[in-house]
Chain A
Amino acid sequence: METIQTDVAIIGAGGAGLRAAIAVGETDPKLRIALISKVYPMRSHTCAAEGGAAGVIKPDDSLENHFNDTVGGGDWLCDQDAVDYLVQEAPRELIQLEHWGCPWSREPNGSVAVRPFGGMIKQRTWFAADKSGFHILHTLFQTSLKFPSIQRFDEYYVTDLIVDDGRCQGLTAIEMRSGQMRQFQARAVIIAGGGAGRMFPFTTNGAIKTGDGMALAYRAGVALKDMEFVQYHPTGLPNTGTLLTEACRGEGGILLNKNGRRFLQDYGMGPETPVGKPQLKTMELGPRDRVSQAFWHEQKKGNMLPTQWGDCMLLDMRHLGEKAINERLPLVRDVTTSYLGVDPVTDPVPVRPVVHYMMGGIDTNIRAATPLAGLFAAGECACVSINGANRLGSNSLTEILVFGRRAGLSAAEYVRSGARPGNDAALAAKATAAQARIRARFEKTGGKESVAALRKEMMTTMERNAGIYRSGDGLSEACVKLGELRHRYAEVELTDKTNVYNTDLLQALELGSMLDCAEAVAASALARKESRGAHQRLDFVERDDKSFLRHSLAYYHPTDPPRVEYRDVVITKSQPGVRDYSGDHQ
């Protein structure tokens, strides 16, 4: 097997991976960087983020405001030292992107413009129309081309981390175009592999978001933290699940039930505010968990609009006018018009909550380091945790920048502090073992299971039992079912047994990642007997700070269900309180 020597190997070339690579390149041009991704960088799912990135920039705002919004929005499950770091670094990172050419939308005087976002008390979301993630991704990708030390390995699928001597020392990956396996010997590894929304059938996430990065760390013994917290974005297109950014409401769009009532006022997010004059941190600018949960209750009451794709609420943006919609929400208009046949200028758009984001992920600390020496993680695949039990919209683009950079700096520091040279023979042996496992899967005959069928069963299980509201019974059922699916997964036989760009094999490996992540979600959710943020239990309806002001940590077991442990949340200055989205706070 061909071996590639590098200093820092980065898995994933989306926003976090690219930012990490640039940070390493800037720190020390002599460090060799291998940027490895299963897709070309510009295909990464960062491109689909729409609304913007939060960072304090305007004089009426303060870091303390951003901190409080984030911690309260996360229902006090955030590590407050990490949130402090995030809000402090955010403005610098966003300005840095501006200096790299990001086309942020502007005020008439040429300064950067900001827009309101859910759960934020001040306007602090930097945006580039409604393609903010797209522009961040392309700015980072194009900037990365300046660095000769960044060597890209596009369309390489990482199958295993190589851990020896108690530290991560590399990985194995399949070059998609040849089907050949490669060993990467690295002094440090950063995982920036994104989320796992594809565990669910109805999601804003692209096909590539299959939790591969999470699963790599998980199988290598690193815990997946707070996996039970899965964010439903309130406004997805009902048929395709395509995201309609929260900026639709930030710009003044309103949510109606079938009777034309702005129902959020009945769920602790009122009183009603004037149409077209959005007031911060209340009504339509409430946090995503609360808005999605309000939808669920209205649906139970029969107040939602039945459509061929299920019950929907209406997102009404007509009063914004054509000019504002074209300028600020052009993608939204394009998407609703072409995929749903509804023009937001003339008609309210039916929408329903859709799986959007994993708050949980690879256990990392404030330095983006995992407990496994030499392994770092950043972005959606990681859990620092700054998102706690519910992420505020526009904090994740900031997170990929701040903690992507942090991961790069930490990895560079780790490498330069002189990690002992690895044992080449031991590493090669582990790589060969990893290759043998993949080959066994590849060559397996007589299997009775298919990737598509197992994937469908997994998705159905997750949707039914790990949705907006959960119950002990449902979650128990999910745990059993997912355990069964993991066993049956061993019986998958590929139809395609050729080497070049074998997407049958790719999808099988992705399914393996998703099954592992899904089991961590279900087991962590079952164990958390309280309701907090995006994790709502019908059998434990209250938040329970006494028992569960703690992060869950799910540890992998090759054949049994994961073991779930807990760790206290870091609290520095904000004691758990009541989340107030009534508008009274103003």
Chain B
Amino acid sequence: MSERLVEVEVLRYNPETDSEPHFQRYSVSCEEEWVVLDALNHVKETIDPTLSYRWSCHMAVCGSCGMMINGEPKLACKAFLRNYEGVIRVEPLAHFPIERDLVTVIDDFVSKLARVKPYLIPKEDKPLSAGEYRQTPAQLKKYKQYTLCINCMLCYSACPEYGLIPKYIGPAALSLAHRYNADSRDGGREERAQEVAATEGVWDCSFVGACSEVCPEHVDPASAIQQEKIANMVDWYKEHLMPGGAK
């Protein structure tokens, strides 16, 4: 195992002692195959136990360790040291308030997620005794990629619209709304439209596409949002232009 001395510069902020965040640099002896998270863990274990950050699974499914690494939103457990040269700069996810060090306040996302009703609203009720709903592999594939969101919020950090318009519901929550709208078992699109089709829903998106570029699970939120825009536009035309379309 080849070792390498890595300079990591971490944005620190302790609300009890600091008036504003500042960078602190650590020299960390790392193994070549490590990820940035390993380096942070090494710092916490051997250099500075006061460094705070979230992490758990170390396999890119729990979504805890999102942070800005050299200005790019990344999962620290999937940011390989081999891809970085020189000083690695680590900051908390952009567009979220900093609670402490690399820990951000994510209440906003959590409440927005609940608002879009991200659960199945069945098209037709079926008792459990009647078994599962039928869904072909093709119907599954139609929405499957949007189920893969791990709520890591890298997309919110990449999205300038969210940074500029805090009311915007944002990529991950809208993708999950689309995930259920596109599910053959679901009949809740109209219920979700109240949030999804609103200005602060899909229409605050100007299709920057950054969300999809940074998504570690290839969910492609930009795609979900554009598809919802088209569906909602079609709804609008049906309602306003078609004879008898107004409901």
Interface status of B241 (Cβ within 8 A of chain A): no
In the complex, the answer to whether A105 meets B56 with C-beta atoms within 8 Å is: no
Measured between alpha carbons, how far is A98 from B132 in the docked complex, in Å? 6
In the complex, the answer to whether B128 meets A105 with C-beta atoms within 8 Å is: no
Contacting residues, chain A, for B85 (C-beta < 8 A): none
Residues of A459-501 at the interface with B, using a CB-CB cut-off of 8 Å, are 494-496, 498-501
In the complex, the answer to whether B17 meets A99 with C-beta atoms within 8 Å is: no
Query: Can you list 12 A-B contacts (CB < 8 A)?
Result: A43-B62, A45-B57, A47-B61, A101-B119, A104-B132, A107-B137, A146-B117, A335-B59, A495-B50, A498-B16, A500-B100, A507-B49
In the complex, the answer to whether B50 meets A99 with C-beta atoms within 8 Å is: no
In the complex, the answer to whether B151 meets A100 with C-beta atoms within 8 Å is: no
In the complex, the answer to whether B132 meets A111 with C-beta atoms within 8 Å is: yes
Among B62, B131, B176, which residue has its beta carbon within 8 angstroms of that of A142? B176
Contacting residues, chain B, for A498 (C-beta < 8 A): 14, 16-17, 50
Interface status of A572 (Cβ within 8 A of chain B): no
> A398 → chain B, closest Cβ, in Å?
16
Among A43, A452, A504, which residue has its beta carbon within 8 angstroms of that of B64? A43
Counting chain A CB atoms within 10 Å of each CB, the highest count among B33, B49, B133, B150 belongs to B49
Among A138, A239, A335, which residue has its beta carbon within 8 angstroms of that of B33? A239
Closest Cβ neighbor of B101 among chain A residues: A501
Among A43, A108, A111, A339, which residue has its beta carbon within 8 angstroms of that of B63? A43
Interface status of B140 (Cβ within 8 A of chain A): yes
In the complex, the answer to whether A106 meets B135 with C-beta atoms within 8 Å is: yes
Contacting residues, chain A, for B117 (C-beta < 8 A): 145-146
* Known contacts A242-B58, A452-B49, A110 near B135 by CB under 8 Å: yes
Contacting residues, chain A, for B99 (C-beta < 8 A): 177, 500-501
Contacting residues, chain A, for B120 (C-beta < 8 A): 99-101, 143
Interface status of B126 (Cβ within 8 A of chain A): yes
Interface status of A134 (Cβ within 8 A of chain B): yes
Closest Cβ neighbor of A456 among chain B residues: B45
Interface status of B71 (Cβ within 8 A of chain A): no
In the complex, the answer to whether A92 meets B80 with C-beta atoms within 8 Å is: no
> B182 → chain A, closest Cβ, in Å?
11
In the complex, the answer to whether A39 meets B64 with C-beta atoms within 8 Å is: yes
Counting chain A CB atoms within 10 Å of each CB, the highest count among B14, B78, B80, B119 belongs to B119
Bitwise, A76-99 to B at CB < 8 A (1) or not (0) is: 000000000000000010011011
Measured between alpha carbons, how far is A95 from B57 in the docked complex, in Å? 28
* Known contacts A131-B61, A308-B1, A452-B45, A501 near B131 by CB under 8 Å: no
Contacting residues, chain B, for A107 (C-beta < 8 A): 137
Measured between alpha carbons, how far is A146 from B188 in the docked complex, in Å? 13
Residues of A325-346 at the interface with B, using a CB-CB cut-off of 8 Å, are 331, 334-335, 338-339
Interface status of B55 (Cβ within 8 A of chain A): yes
Residues of A26-64 at the interface with B, using a CB-CB cut-off of 8 Å, are 39-40, 42-45, 47-48
In the complex, the answer to whether A99 meets B119 with C-beta atoms within 8 Å is: no
> B48 → chain A, closest Cβ, in Å?
8
In the complex, the answer to whether B134 meets A145 with C-beta atoms within 8 Å is: no
* Known contacts A92-B128, A143-B119, A500 near B56 by CB under 8 Å: no
Measured between alpha carbons, how far is A95 from B101 in the docked complex, in Å? 43
Among B48, B56, B58, B151, which residue has its beta carbon within 8 angstroms of that of A240? B58
Residues of B35-65 at the interface with A, using a CB-CB cut-off of 8 Å, are 44-46, 48-64
Chain B's interface: helix, strand, loop or mixed, by majority?
A: loop
Contacting residues, chain A, for B56 (C-beta < 8 A): 39, 43, 45, 206-208
In the complex, the answer to whether B1 meets A106 with C-beta atoms within 8 Å is: no
In the complex, the answer to whether B183 meets A101 with C-beta atoms within 8 Å is: yes
Bitwise, A113-136 to B at CB < 8 A (1) or not (0) is: 000000000000000000100110
* Known contacts A96-B128, A501-B99, A206 near B134 by CB under 8 Å: no
* Known contacts A101-B186, A145-B114, A504 near B61 by CB under 8 Å: no
Contacting residues, chain B, for A138 (C-beta < 8 A): 147, 149
In the complex, the answer to whether B55 meets A101 with C-beta atoms within 8 Å is: no
Measured between alpha carbons, how far is A34 from B63 in the docked complex, in Å? 23
Contacting residues, chain A, for B15 (C-beta < 8 A): 500
Interface status of B229 (Cβ within 8 A of chain A): no
In the complex, the answer to whether A48 meets B132 with C-beta atoms within 8 Å is: no
In the complex, the answer to whether B49 meets A103 with C-beta atoms within 8 Å is: no
In the complex, the answer to whether B118 meets A145 with C-beta atoms within 8 Å is: yes
Interface status of A503 (Cβ within 8 A of chain B): yes
Contacting residues, chain B, for A451 (C-beta < 8 A): 49
In the complex, the answer to whether A48 meets B140 with C-beta atoms within 8 Å is: no
The 6 A-B residue pairs whose C-beta atoms are closest, nearest first, are A110-B134, A101-B120, A206-B56, A496-B50, A501-B100, A206-B57
In the complex, the answer to whether B78 meets A338 with C-beta atoms within 8 Å is: yes
* Known contacts A131-B148, A145-B113, A498-B14, A206 near B62 by CB under 8 Å: yes
* Known contacts A452-B45, A495-B50, A42 near B62 by CB under 8 Å: yes
Interface status of B19 (Cβ within 8 A of chain A): no
Bitwise, A500-512 to B at CB < 8 A (1) or not (0) is: 1111100100000
Interface status of B95 (Cβ within 8 A of chain A): no
Contacting residues, chain B, for A415 (C-beta < 8 A): none
Measured between alpha carbons, how far is A207 from B37 in the docked complex, in Å? 12
Among A99, A105, A239, A501, which residue has its beta carbon within 8 angstroms of that of B126? A99
Residues of B96-137 at the interface with A, using a CB-CB cut-off of 8 Å, are 99-101, 103, 105-106, 110, 113-114, 117-120, 122, 126, 128, 131-137
In the complex, the answer to whether A496 meets B49 with C-beta atoms within 8 Å is: yes
Bitwise, A241-264 to B at CB < 8 A (1) or not (0) is: 011000000000000000000000
In the complex, the answer to whether B80 meets A338 with C-beta atoms within 8 Å is: yes
In the complex, the answer to whether A103 meets B114 with C-beta atoms within 8 Å is: no
Interface status of A580 (Cβ within 8 A of chain B): no
Interface status of A438 (Cβ within 8 A of chain B): no
In the complex, the answer to whether A108 meets B137 with C-beta atoms within 8 Å is: yes
